[in-house]
Structure 1
Amino acid sequence: MRATVATVMTTDVVAVNEKASFHTVTALLTTRGVSGVPVLDDDNHVLGVVSEADLLAKQEFKQRYHGDYYRPSLGARIRHTAGSEGSGFSKALGETVRELMTSPAHTTTPGTSVVLAARLMDTYGIKRLPVVDADGRLVGIVSRRDLIKVFLREDADIERQVQETIPSDVPGVEITVSEGVVTLSGTLNEHSQAITAVRLAESIDGVVAVHDQLGWKRDDIVKLPVWGGA
């Protein structure tokens, strides 16, 4: 059984309302030691995420124009309205979290596998995912650090699951587990059984690696002929 987000997520979530001020969210990130938080409406729906990068857009914009007292000209504001200045300009002028946040937020659900959650983080280059229920309300948050918790499973627990996962018609497999590394040994009747046993062990959450020390009596793997080029 694969681990889901519900088994590793944090339910005590640091979040902020969309109406909060720039100063409020800056203080929140600093005091709680986090780099980003979900942004919620009054009904706890996730609207976006505000991060340190979003807040730094204001400082970056000031440096770009060489002065803390710079205010964009009317022409620049008009160009921004037309879309030529980009989202960084908007965030530089933002005063509330709703104006500063990145939206929409990439989210996940409690029933999502940790593998899929990891893929989402990798795809979008983010470090955390707000976890929402069927109505889009916040129920937790999962980070990269949370996802690697699956590799902290007890060796005895992994060994038990390997034993349960390998089919009963594949007898003779000896299983040992040390710090998440599974070693399969013994002699099986067929080569295909050995391949199946290794692949099933590799698919189990928390398995760091599988050492294949299996032998077999009969090689039942069909080897297709290799045809040379014309």
Structure 2
Amino acid sequence: MPGKPHTVSDVMTRTVATIGRDAPFKDVVSLMEERKVSALPVLEGEGRVIGVVSEADLLLKEEFRDSDPDRFTQRERLDDLAKAGASTAAELMSAPAVTVRANATLAQAARVMARRRVKRLPVVNDENLLEGVVSRSDLLKVFLRGDEELAEEVRHEVVDRLFPLSADHIRVEVTEGVVSLSGWVADDGLAAVAERLARAVEGVVAVHCCLVPASVRSDP
């Protein structure tokens, strides 16, 4: 409770633009422009992910084009300077690639993105073979769920299970993803639990909980 969370496999893109390790610099730029993506998984063999080339990696060539880095910069940004002189995907890529499994929850994928400061993740299987890519925008798709769908899940997975004896006295309303719980409950200690579980339903933006103990309700 609540229901089974969405996983990366539910939202990921399965048709992915990729590049080989020996691809020239200009081919990497051309493919990114053609496919309108900001990063490309680098593959070898039968599709094993060995790294990722991002726009940030490519821009290093421009950053250092007309500069003469001092010793401090040379020491502190050695990897960046090497990429600035790169001519192939293997020399440009960040490796090992930050990846995620298809069965990871959206919350787990979001934490990896935030912690590693990346915008998209290659999705790989146990052999590190590419299965797809998940992006920040993919993770936000759960917020496209309709209000009626959210209300039904909150009603079934939270209210009916937490309050089987007083569920008929609880109203669930959802407007633009914001859940409102109102009514009375026999066990007021579960009101906070209901609020927390409703907030955990994927696609819920916020929760307003106005559940009161049956002992203090005022009947009209």
TM-score of the aligned structures, taking structure 1 as reference length: 0.83
Identity %, equivalent residues: 40
Misfit runs of 4+, over 3 Å: none
In structure 1, the partner of 2:190 is 193
In structure 2, the partner of 1:8 is 11
**Structure 1 residues 195 and 34, CA gap change in structure 2 (3 angstroms):** same
Partner secondary structure for residue 63 of structure 1: coil
In structure 1, the partner of 2:174 is 177
- Root mean square deviation, CA, Å: 2.0
Match of residue 213, structure 2, among 207, 213, 216: 216
The structure with the largest helix share of the pair is 2
Q: After the TM superposition, which residues 126-145 of structure 1 pair with which residues of structure 2 at under 5 Å, given as runs?
A: 126-145=118-137
Match of residue 106, structure 1, among 98, 102, 110: 98
* TM-superposition CA deviations, 1:61-113 (whole Å, max 9, x none): 222139xxxxxxxxx9xxx8xx8861122212221100111111110011101
CA distance in 1, matches of 2:98, 2:17: 17
- Structure showing greater radius of gyration is 1
Say whether 1:207 aligns with 2:204: yes
Displacement of 1:218 in angstroms is 4.9
Name the count of aligned residue pairs: 205
CA distance in 1, matches of 2:123, 2:83: 25
Extract unaligned runs of 5+ from structure 2: none
Q: After the TM superposition, which residues 1-230 of structure 1 pair with which residues of structure 2 at under 5 Å, given as runs?
A: 1-65=4-68, 86-166=78-158, 167=161, 168-169=164-165, 171=167, 172-218=169-215
CA distance in 2, matches of 1:156, 1:133: 35
Extract unaligned runs of 5+ from structure 1: 67-75, 220-230
Letter in 2 for 1:90: A
Letter in 1 for 2:92: L
Greater Cα offset, 210-219 or 19-28: 210-219
Letter in 1 for 2:18: A
TM-score of the aligned structures, taking structure 2 as reference length: 0.87
